[in-house]
Amino acid sequence: MDFEIGRGKRARRVYAFDDVAVIPSRRTRDPQDVSIAWGIDAFHFEVPFLSAPMDSVSSPATAIAIGRLGGLGVLGLEGLWTRYDDPQPLLEEIRELPADQVTRGMQRIYAAPIRADLIRLRLAEIRDAGVPVAAALSPQRTREFSAEVIEAGVDLFVIRGTTVSAQHVSKATEPLNLKQFIYELDVPVIVGGAATYTAALHLMRTGAAGVLVGFGGGAATTTRTALGIHAPMATAVADVAGARRDYLDESGGRYVHVIADGGLGNSGDIVKALAMGADAVMLGTTLARSTEAPGGGWHWGTEAYHDQLPRGGRVWVGQAAPLQQVLFGPASVPDGTVNLAGALRRAMATTGYSDVKEFQRVEVVVAPYLGG
């Protein structure tokens, strides 16, 4: 639907997860008959959950824990773990910063340099645990540190920024040639955020194995206030899923995985992301609520400590339960924060679908949440 905002300016109506809901079909199933498994490249996962490479979510320890529970832990290589030998005191400091000093304090703490030795150390720790190793760099840092990362050995390489395009234009520095970089790399690459059909299609053409869908849609970002930019997630995921389908045809059969990244505050949002066409979800807020999460009930993203233009805060998300219980229950709260896998399984069963790929076809309605 196109609307005329004013003379000569048209705009498309776009939708957030909160604007939509899933509805049952004529068939129901048993939750235990439903598969929520996911695979990308040679890797198989029992649950389609990746941890977001944010310091409040993913440490080497939680990455390992998530891997052991059947998901994929993704460690961010530009956070505290690669800037400090022992990040624990700094995590604690961030948690305890007074509200009016939190941005300034994080800017100071994250001003420490990224160290290649720590990159190797952290990745080795994950590798030694025997789970798949996935690590994330921003496009700006990929050229600088990718050799270290490859050398340290990763199974999946994640290039993640607020907006990543296949055609970055720069006068000052030669931008990363994503296509060549991915071509030369031995490991599969997941890249994003992309929030539109076109941007995602171009990323798919670089040879990426997966595309992250999102643009600061998470609870901890203020991108809309600061930049005026907003790509609500329901539309963004559906658009990128559309690009996946068109690229599948164009490429003669290459299936690029669509991974929703942002705006996933509870199990209902996860259900909606898959319903919109995602193959998997990268979880921030929901995993930050586990008692093992490094944030200790606080959550913040990489935009929160940008030195010139911070675009996010440290938000209190609370502590819901241990990680295993957050993923698999049982829940003793009814708010969609615990038993994410169980909720997904039940939503699929109730609507009559038996795997994620099928569930991407579930009927969706526009039902803004104003009252009952």
Give the footprint of its own copies on residues 146-165 (CB under 8 A): 162-165
**The one segment of 64-72, 82-90, 288-296, 339-347 that binds its own copies by CB under 8 A:** 339-347
* Dist CA 360 CA 273 (whole Å): 9
Task: Return the residue of 42, 86, 249, 309 that touches its own copies, per CB under 8 A.
Answer: 309
- Contact flag: residue 261 with its own copies (CB under 8 A): no
- Contact flag: residue 253 with its own copies (CB under 8 A): no
Residues 73-92 that bind its own copies (CB under 8 A): none
Task: Return the residue of 113, 173, 249, 253 that touches its own copies, per CB under 8 A.
Answer: 173
Task: Return the residue of 113, 174, 249, 308 that touches its own copies, per CB under 8 A.
Answer: 308
* Dist CA 38 CA 44 (whole Å): 6
* Dist CA 120 CA 74 (whole Å): 15
How many residues interact with its own copies (rule CB under 8 A)?
126
C-beta separation of 280 from 43 below 8 A: no
Least separation in angstroms between residue 205's CB and its own copies is 10
Judged by CB, which is closer to its own copies: 160, or 311? 311
- Contact flag: residue 233 with its own copies (CB under 8 A): yes
* Dist CA 19 CA 41 (whole Å): 33
Residues in a beta bridge with 194: 213
Give the pair of three-digit tokens for residue 342. 């169980």
Judged by CB, which is closer to its own copies: 128, or 335? 335
Looking at residue 127, what DSSP letter applies?
H
Judged by CB, which is closer to its own copies: 42, or 370? 370
* Dist CA 302 CA 350 (whole Å): 37
- Contact flag: residue 214 with its own copies (CB under 8 A): no
- Contact flag: residue 198 with its own copies (CB under 8 A): yes
Number of Cα atoms under 13 Å in the Cβ half of residue 259: 32
Task: Return the residue of 121, 150, 227, 248 that touches its own copies, per CB under 8 A.
Answer: 227
Least separation in angstroms between residue 355's CB and its own copies is 13
- Contact flag: residue 174 with its own copies (CB under 8 A): no
Task: Return the residue of 51, 59, 62, 350 that touches its own copies, per CB under 8 A.
Answer: 350
Task: Return the residue of 70, 192, 277, 295 that touches its own copies, per CB under 8 A.
Answer: 277
Cα dihedral across residues 142, 143, 144, 149: positive or negative? positive
Estimate to the nearest angstrom the gap between the alpha carbon of 260 and the chain centroid: 6
- Contact flag: residue 219 with its own copies (CB under 8 A): yes
- Contact flag: residue 144 with its own copies (CB under 8 A): no
Judged by CB, which is closer to its own copies: 154, or 238? 238
3-state secondary structure of 251: coil
Least separation in angstroms between residue 122's CB and its own copies is 27
DSSP element (H, E) containing 67 = helix 60-68
Give the pair of three-digit tokens for residue 290. 């586990």
Task: Return the residue of 43, 93, 95, 107 that touches its own copies, per CB under 8 A.
Answer: 107
Least separation in angstroms between residue 83's CB and its own copies is 19
Residues 29-48 that bind its own copies (CB under 8 A): 29-30, 32-33
Tell me if the bond preceding 330 is cis, omega within 30° of 0: yes
C-beta separation of 304 from 105 below 8 A: no
Phi (first) and psi of residue 42, to 5 degrees: -90, 5
- Contact flag: residue 98 with its own copies (CB under 8 A): no
Cα dihedral across residues 304, 323, 333, 263: positive or negative? positive
Least separation in angstroms between residue 102's CB and its own copies is 9
* Dist CA 158 CA 16 (whole Å): 25
